């Protein structure tokens, strides 16, 4: 870890006790919040990643619509098709609305694998993925959460 | 950690379309609980969740950073991280998810994914190891996500006062610093309500 030169005018020394504000992770190539115009780090993945057999080796190409809390249900009237055991298990969980994270936890599938398989099942017309219209919650929704949380004991 | 048994894994046709129409999916909202190892994130999630916290594993590749970097050559490491999460049903159409996330900077590459659409975050702090929460505070500041610093008073004891914690973290004046007890539902609820107040402020500002 390198700290900025305090004499360097570009990095004025600050009395802050929180060193990450100026150095550390950023200098080490760290973790700024992603900008949408940047390539996701997934494109850099190489053979270092353990192959995901059940996703046919795919580790990226995840649908950005499919978040951890995204709700998934069986597509009404989906025709019977042959599915892999993992996909069949996923469809079996989605008779009631369920989140991607819950699918991952209950089936003990890695989150990344779950997201890929859910995306495949959506593309195959087996699952409905309920994508929210507005990404950031509106004040009315937050007020409902506050009221609901206040009501619990 | 208990897991439900996986359904039997016999290959066959999926039984779909037979159980009638699935219920209308609720709108999910989420709050992030972040902090260093062992500060009480899972306890916090478990105290408020209506189900036993579930664990999901994410396997990620990232360039290794920080003190354990072996040299100049860029080395990729594959890390499996476990995230605990809980659920609170607000009503038939609204569900609150609470995700506990590892706070170490080497896991921060996955936070972009996690905070997308999040209402806000509770950064859990152990006053004996305040610096464990620096990466989370840094990240949420940069990302512009409303957050609250919650000092977990394990046994009703704090090594430092809230003012001292605020000074050490150098967070903005409008970031609440509070103490709570992760073991008690009411205490966690109150801490989350402060997070939601911050989220509401931001949502109203953005709308106007």
Q: Tell me, what's the ipTM?
A: 0.80
How far does the CA of residue A8 sit from the closest CA of chain B (Å)?
23
Contact A18 B10 (CB under 8 A): no
Per the listing, tokens 């989350």 go with B192
Strand spans (E) along chain A = 71-74, 82-83, 98-99, 127-130
Contact B16 A75 (CB under 8 A): yes
Tell me what pLDDT residue B205 has. Answer: 92
Which helix (H) or strand (E) is A55 found in, with range? none
Mean pLDDT of A113-119: 92
Contact B17 A74 (CB under 8 A): yes
Contact A139 B200 (CB under 8 A): yes
Per-residue buried b or exposed e for A93-129, using 16+ beta carbons within 10 Å of the residue's own CB: bbbebbbbbbbbbbbebbbbbbbbbbbbbbeeebbbb
Q: Find the CB nearest B204 among A45, A105, A139.
A: A139
Range scoring the smallest mean pLDDT among B58-67, B105-114, B137-146, B173-182: B58-67
Contact A145 B189 (CB under 8 A): no
Contact B108 A31 (CB under 8 A): yes
Q: Residue B67: is its pLDDT beyond 70? A: no
Confirm if B56 and A101 have CB atoms less than 8 A apart: yes
Residue of chain B with shortest Cα separation from A82: B13
Per the listing, tokens 């001292």 go with B164
How far does the CA of residue A48 sit from the closest CA of chain B (Å)?
7
Please name which of B15, B46, B26 lies closest in space to residue B124, comparing C-alpha atoms. Answer: B46
Sheet order of strands, A71-74 included = A98-99, A71-74, A127-130
Q: Find the CB nearest A67 among B116, B189, B206.
A: B116
Tell me what pLDDT residue A62 has. Answer: 66
Q: Residue A20: is its pLDDT beyond 90? A: no
Tell me what pLDDT residue A32 has. Answer: 60
Q: Residue B190: is its pLDDT beyond 80? A: yes
Residues of B with Cβ-Cβ distance to A95 under 8 angstroms: 19, 22
């Amino acid at each position: 870890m390198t700290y900025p030169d305090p004499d360097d005018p570009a990095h004025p020394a600050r009395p802050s006790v929180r060193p990450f504000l100026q150095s550390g992770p950023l200098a080490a190539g760290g973790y700024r919040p992603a900008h949408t115009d940047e390539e996701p780090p997934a494109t850099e993945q190489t053979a270092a990643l353990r192959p995901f057999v059940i996703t046919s080796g795919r580790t990226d190409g995840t649908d950005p619509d499919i978040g951890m809390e995204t709700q998934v249900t069986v597509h009404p009237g989906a025709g019977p098709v042959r599915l892999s055991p993992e996909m069949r298990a996923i469809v079996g969980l989605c008779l009631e609305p369920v989140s991607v994270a819950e699918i991952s936890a209950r089936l003990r599938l890695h989150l990344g694998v779950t997201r890929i398989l859910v995306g495949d099942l959506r593309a195959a017309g087996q699952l409905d993925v309920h994508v929210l219209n507005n990404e950031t919650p509106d004040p009315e929704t937050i007020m409902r959460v506050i009221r609901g949380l206040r009501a619990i004991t | 950690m208990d897991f439900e048994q996986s359904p039997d894994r016999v290959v066959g046709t999926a039984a779909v379309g037979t159980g009638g129409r699935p219920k209308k999916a609720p709108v999910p909202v989420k709050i992030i609980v972040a902090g260093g190892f062992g500060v009480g994130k899972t306890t916090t999630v478990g105290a408020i969740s209506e189900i036993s916290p579930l664990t999901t594993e994410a396997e990620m590749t990232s360039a290794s950073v920080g003190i354990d970097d072996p040299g100049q050559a860029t080395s990729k490491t594959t890390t499996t991280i476990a995230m605990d999460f809980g659920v609170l049903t607000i009503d038939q159409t609204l569900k609150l998810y609470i995700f506990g996330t590892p706070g170490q900077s080497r896991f921060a590459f996955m936070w972009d994914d996690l905070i997308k659409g999040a209402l806000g975050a509770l950064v859990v702090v152990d006053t004996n190891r305040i610096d464990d929460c620096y990466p989370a505070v840094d990240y949420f500041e940069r990302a512009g996500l409303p957050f609250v610093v919650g000092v977990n008073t394990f046994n009703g004891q704090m090594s430092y006062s809230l003012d001292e914690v605020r000074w050490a973290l150098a967070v903005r004046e409008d970031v609440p610093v509070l103490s709570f007890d992760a073991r008690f539902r009411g205490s966690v609820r109150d801490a989350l309500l402060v997070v939601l107040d911050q989220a509401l402020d931001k949502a109203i500002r953005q709308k106007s």
